[in-house]
Amino acid sequence: MSDSALRVARPGAGPLSFDAALARARAAAEAELRRALSGEPGPVAAAMLYACEGGKGLRGFLVMEGARLHGLTDAQAAPAAAAIEALHAYSLIHDDLPCMDDDDLRRGRPTVHRAWDEATAVLAGDALQSLAFELVCGAGCPPEARLALALTLARAAGVAGMVGGQALDIAAETAAAPLGLTDITALQARKTGALISWSAAAGPRMAGADASALLAYGDALGLAFQIADDILDVEGSAEEVGKAIGKDAGRGKATFVSLLGLDGAKDRARSLVEEACAALDPYGEAAAPLREAARFVTTRRK
């Protein structure tokens, strides 16, 4: 997507449909990532781009839509959207490694350590994490807002957020007793939810506005997203989902489905979607794409 296309002002022009806004945000983030890695030779840069391809781009979409709601243009928000997609891709590369979940398939393609090798996968993940902070520092907002973005991203990604949640998830596999519902909810709020909540709140943070409504939206959305993942692990197919399924049950891990039952998990996901949509009330109809995103999370097949 060209810079001129990104500069087309959307604030005040009414929201796009969810599908159109998602595609636009994905294209903007991918363009930023390609620009950042252009001219970088060697397998690590190639693996970085490979890992960023083929995803839904939901986190970048949340950044772009939150920014739009606060009067920012796509060009201002695109670097932050690319940053969260880079950081998410890093987490997937490392999550797929033999020392972690040991997966061969991601987004319908061989995982990075299978397409290249384990050393390249580790380095590509490391470099994507670094790139995320480089990109977020290029967001089109005042320096104090960029600092807030970087600080909150570090917290969401680190031991207090995603990495800490992943560590709890690994520990749960060998725990003497399965986790309960409160435990699994807290774990997933960190492992999956922290980056989704950061994405939802990035727009108001860039604008120096109150982020509480979009944080509440992101918290509910992140938990609904994980419950939907647990449901897909039971009901989906590898062809649809683009990765191996049924692994949680095979390992005896506690999930929302194992704790609530399939119907109970679906009911909880629907309730969370309603919570997420209610949090958007201050934005009125301008937040229609974000409401559609919440409903999409529980109906997706991958």
Residue 295 to residues 66, 209, 276: CA-CA distances in angstroms? 17, 26, 9
Supply the pLDDT for residue 244: 61
Supply the pLDDT for residue 79: 98
Supply the pLDDT for residue 6: 35
Domain boundaries, the chain: 3-299
Enumerate residues 6+ apart whose C-beta is below 8 A from 280. 213, 214, 217, 287, 290, 291
Beta bridge partners of 106: 109
Supply the pLDDT for residue 15: 80
Neighbours of 150 (CB within 10 A): 18
Beta bridge partners of 234: none
Supply the pLDDT for residue 222: 97
Average pLDDT rounded to a whole number, residues 95-107? 94
Which is nearest to 55 in space by CA: 90, 6, 94, 10?
90
Burial class from Cβ neighbours inside 10 Å (0-12, 13-18, 19+) for residue 217 reads: buried
The tens digit of pLDDT for each residue in 142-185 reads: 999 999 999 999 999 999 999 999 999 999 888 888 899 999 99
Average pLDDT rounded to a whole number, residues 262-287? 97
Greater pLDDT, 153 or 11: 153
Residue 1: CA count within 13 A, CB half-sphere = 18
Supply the pLDDT for residue 175: 86
| Averaged confidence pLDDT in the chain | 91
Q: Which CATH architecture does the domain made up of 3-299 adopt?
A: Orthogonal Bundle (1.10)
Handedness of CA 294, 146, 56, 25 (dihedral sign): positive
Average pLDDT rounded to a whole number, residues 9-20? 70
Supply the pLDDT for residue 235: 85
Supply the pLDDT for residue 241: 55
22 band by pLDDT with thresholds 50, 70 and 90: very high
Residue 115 has pLDDT above 60, yes or no: yes
Supply the pLDDT for residue 18: 95
Residue 238 has pLDDT above 70, yes or no: no
Structure tokens at 257: 């489905």
Supply the pLDDT for residue 251: 61
Q: How far apart are CA 35 and CA 37, in angstroms?
A: 5
Residue 49 to residues 87, 110, 117, 254: CA-CA distances in angstroms? 12, 14, 15, 33
The amino acid sitting at 95 is D
Q: Is 77 helix (H, G, I), strand (E, B) or coil?
A: helix
Residue 236 has pLDDT above 60, yes or no: yes
Supply the pLDDT for residue 39: 87
Output the CA angle 17-18-20, nearest 5 degrees.
Answer: 65
Task: Give pTM, 2 decimals.
Answer: 0.91
Which is nearest to 59 in space by CA: 225, 190, 210?
225
Long-range interactions of 278-285: CB distance < 8 A, separation 24+ = 279/213, 279/214, 279/216, 279/217, 279/220, 280/213, 280/214, 280/217, 281/213, 282/213, 283/69, 283/213, 285/15
